[in-house]
Structure 1
Amino acid sequence: MRYAILAAALAASVALPRVAQATDLEVTHWWTSGGEAAAVAELAKAFDATGNKWVDGAIAGSGGTARPIMISRITGGDPMGATQFNHGRQAEELVAAGLMRDLTPIAEKEGWKNFIKPSSLLDSCTLDGKIYCVPINIHSQQWLWLSNAAFEKAGVAVPKNWDEYVAAAPALEKAGIIPLAMGQQPWQTSLAFQVLVVALAGPDGFNKIYKDKDAEFAAGAEMAKVFDAADKARAMAAKSNVQDWNQATNMVISGQAAGQIMGDWAQGEFQVAGKVAGKDYTCLPGLGVNEVIQTAGDAFYFPVLKDEAKSAAQDVLASTMLSPTTQVAFNLKKGSLPVRGDVDLAAANDCMKKGLEILAKGNIIQSPDQLFSADSLTQVNDLFVEFFKDPKITAADAQKRFAEIVAAAD
């Protein structure tokens, strides 16, 4: 839904002078899983090293839970020093209301356009020619994470693509293994669907849906194949009774489940658990069908503050987040790719290297967050929550409703 911005809160602020005075700065985010917490610690350590202090404002749950709280605080006159959003359209109303700082001066001073790659990341932080956020990583959704031990127990080879994975489901179930782990947070089911779109309808099909809002394509034969695959995924995940995404990831780590469709942030959980890519688990970008990297990810926005020292600290934090050292340390823990194209990632594991190779080839797409409004994405989320919970909803019925959402999307 849209968040109404009170007219009284819309006054644009004048630039404040910056003073070199260390201070505490509250940073809100929704990174609370084991891997995420380890990554956040790297950001906090880097910022604290500047003489300032990172005051952690973690909000348990997902972005869908945290964003309304963050927005309410900002519009209610109680802004934090910095806040996480996904780079895209999630904060555009706050920006339009004059409640977020214009970072263009520091971006131009440090030459962000010269090293943030791909350029679409910074474009997603830009409104009316001004830069309002710091993209900190590249997160791609298009991954299938597989437990090598689960397939060994079931007596089948680790799949190389989606079709082989689906074919292995009966043997997995016979061995007492849940084929597909999936949590019940609304975004997880729509994420799985989006991944299936890219894998089975290809990047062009994805763009027809999310970029072009092509309702005719959404209702057509190519998308019918995607909905049939979603129906199979629903059956494979029928016994996956967990809520959070990292709980589903832990099912794969423990071998209770064979696989999970999830973004590359799942790597952080495997790493915390001491699992080794290529040995303990296998990762298939694009479900082993269409190897594509989605240029989604996380960004930090900086609300307008009246405190001069805290405003100065915001500049320091923005700069620190993009430093080469911080980019490497944070992203190795997070499982994501750096936004800087000039850093050394020799320590990257097998899965991260796959992502870097795909990125280097230019096989990229934008994320739905960058293409659909928050309203439209909420409607998609609601549809797939219902679809995955209710087997009585046929794939054809879901496709018809999805096409209607696409037709009205903004």
Structure 2
Amino acid sequence: MNIRLMAAALLASVAISAVSANATDLEVTHWWTSGGEAAAVKVLADQYNALGNNKWVDGAIAGAGSTATPLIVTRILGGNPMGATQLNTGRDAEELVKAGLMTDLTELAEKEHWKDIIRPAKLLDACTYEGHIYCVPLNIHSWQWMWVNRHVFEDNGMKVPTNWDEFAAEAPKLKDKGIVPLATGAPWQVDGIRSVMQVGIGGKDLYLAINQKKSEEAVRSADNRKVWTAFAQARDMVDESYSGRDWNMATNMVIEGKAAGQIMGDWAQGEFGVAKKVAGKDYDCLPGLGFHGLLDTGGDSFYFPKNTNPDITKAQLELASMLLSKETQVKFNLAKGSLPVRGDVDLTAANACMKKGLEILATPENVLPGTTQMLTPDTIGQLTDLSLQFFSSKMSVDDAVNKQADIIKQAQ
């Protein structure tokens, strides 16, 4: 698909559909449909509606981002754009921006001094193309977390693990007691485990060498073999029904004590919050698998597809501004389990795990770019396929390393 060649013709149909819309209604698409996510998105809708000028029209899309993103892009290309849409912070909308299909937010960003309030700066950089800003970073989500149910270990006379090695050592005992050691689902969750291990087991230098520098030598290193060896341990810890399971269902297995732990991004906190579970009492969080206190700076951003109706544009800019207000940043991120992109907000109400994340991010050397900021969707898709093949078979570590090296060698 050549997006730029299609852009001019498609913009004409965009203009027609936009003019016919009710200027006070702004359809917002997103994939926040779990219990914790729904509570968080309600915060945004309530905040926007309370402004009294326009109305949030919810356009939730069932499934994860890997399912929703192609649908969102297809709608925009097909001349039937939404007023605003969630996308991952990174390269998901890169071609749409280059094609001129997204609203330029630069004037608003300069007026409200986004460069001074958004941290880390890489988040706004990911929204910038040729000096112009096209999206609003909403939060900081990081993948590098493991969640464990304290009661599962305590009630069975086991020590609550503080890192992956301790967790892996207890896995056989958990199995003997009929408890699933590691809850997960497929497909993207499985690759998430591998990616977290890239940091937690391999460390910062390896993570950047492979994903940012595209180093084939780093892929073939002894440190990366350790990553795949740990990933092989993980595939022996899951239950037979993991394939196709939604991530929040896997989180609920941990919450209910059916599983001992889950490797999942910090959005899992929203589910623990809805279940009224307390960090440090009912569950623990292990950033970097308990080894490396490092977090990536992925997250969610909002884009605003271009249209020719000034009323819709005004409604878009009002939402863009509201998303970065102090009040919205605090309320939304407390509900979502993510961290705010503003460094000047009061988060005294943050739980123990959020405070761990804030402490890590306070040191710039601990902050990593997310994989969506370094790798194209095509490369990410190839790595996800490899992870699935490895996880669902007896593929050797050697074969996995060779296949990963081939993917990284061709990555852009």
TM-score tier, shorter chain, comes to over 0.9
Q: Residue 380 in 1 paired to residue 383 in 2?
A: yes
What is the distance in 2 between the residues matched to 1:292 and 1:124?
20
2:256 equivalent in structure 1: 254
Is the contact made by 1:125 and 1:131 (CA closer than 8 Å) also made in structure 2? yes
Which residue number corresponds to residue 3 of structure 2?
5
Whole-Å separation in 1 of the counterparts to 2:332 and 2:315 = 20
Aligned to 1:230: 231
Match of 1:80 in 2: 82
Q: Give the letter for the 1:231 counterpart.
A: A
Deviation at 1:155, TM superposition (A): 1.8
Deviation, 1:389, is: 1.4
Give runs of aligned pairs for residues 363-378 of structure 1, distance below 5 A. Answer: 363-378=366-381
Q: Secondary structure at the match of 1:212?
A: coil
Distance 1:238 1:8 in 2: 46
Contact persistence 1:182–1:240 (CA under 8 A): no
Preserved contact between residue 12 and residue 97 of structure 1 (Cα < 8 Å): no
Which residue does the alignment assign to 1:211?
Answer: 212
Shift of 1:147: 0.5
Aligned to 2:18: none
Match of 2:61 in 1: 59
* Map of 1:356 onto structure 2: 358
Residues 28-39 of structure 1: pairs in structure 2 closer than 5 A? 28-39=29-40
For the residues of structure 2 that align with 1:129 and 1:370, how far apart are their CA atoms?
17
Find the residue that maps to 2:340 and give its secondary structure: coil
Provide closer, same or farther for how the CA distance between residues 299 and 115 of structure 1 changes in structure 2, counting only shifts above 3 A.
Answer: same
Query: In structure 2, which of residues 124, 127, 144 is the aligned counterpart of residue 125 of structure 1?
Result: 127
Tell me whether 340-349 or 236-245 shows the greater mean CA deviation. Answer: 236-245
Question: Which secondary structure does the structure 2 equivalent of 1:342 belong to?
Answer: coil
CA distance in 2, matches of 1:25, 1:312: 10
The 5 A counterparts of 1:109-124 are: 109-124=111-126
Q: Which residue of 2 aligns with 1:320?
A: 322
Instruction: Give the whole-Å Cα distance in 2 for the aligned partners of 1:27 and 1:198.
Output: 34
Q: Write the deviation string for residues 157-205 of structure 1: whole angstroms up to 9, x where unpaired.
A: 1001111010010111111110000111x21111111110101111111
What is the CA–CA distance in structure 1 between the aligned matches of 2:281 and 2:241, rounded to whole Å? 24
5+ unaligned residues in a row in structure 2: which ranges?
Answer: 16-21
> Which residue is equivalent to 1:399?
401
Task: Tell me the equivalent position of 2:247.
Answer: 245
Superposed CA deviations along residues 71-106 of structure 1, whole A, max 9, x for unmatched, are 011011000000111111110000000000111000
Distance, in Å, in 2 between the alignment partners of 1:169 and 1:240 is 18
Number of residues of Structure 1 aligned to a counterpart in Structure 2:
401
Question: Is the 8 Å Cα contact of residues 10 and 77 (structure 2) preserved in structure 1?
Answer: no
Identity percentage over the alignment?
56
Structure 2 residue aligned with 1:176: 178
Report the secondary structure of 2:345's partner residue: coil
* Structure 1: stretches of 5+ with no match in the other structure: none
2:174 partner amino acid:
L
Structure 1 stretch displaced more, 56-65 or 4-13: 4-13
The CA RMSD over aligned residues, in Å, is 1.6
AA aligned opposite 1:321 = L
Matched with 2:51 is 50
Cα deviations across residues 253-285 of structure 1 (Å, max 9, x unaligned)? 000000000000000000001111001000011
Q: Counterpart in 2 of 1:389? A: 392
Q: What is the CA–CA distance in structure 1 between the aligned matches of 2:2 and 2:233, rounded to whole Å?
A: 40
1:145 matched to which residue of 2?
147
* Structure 1: 4+ residue segments shifted above 3 A: 10-14
The one-letter amino acid of 2:219's match is: A
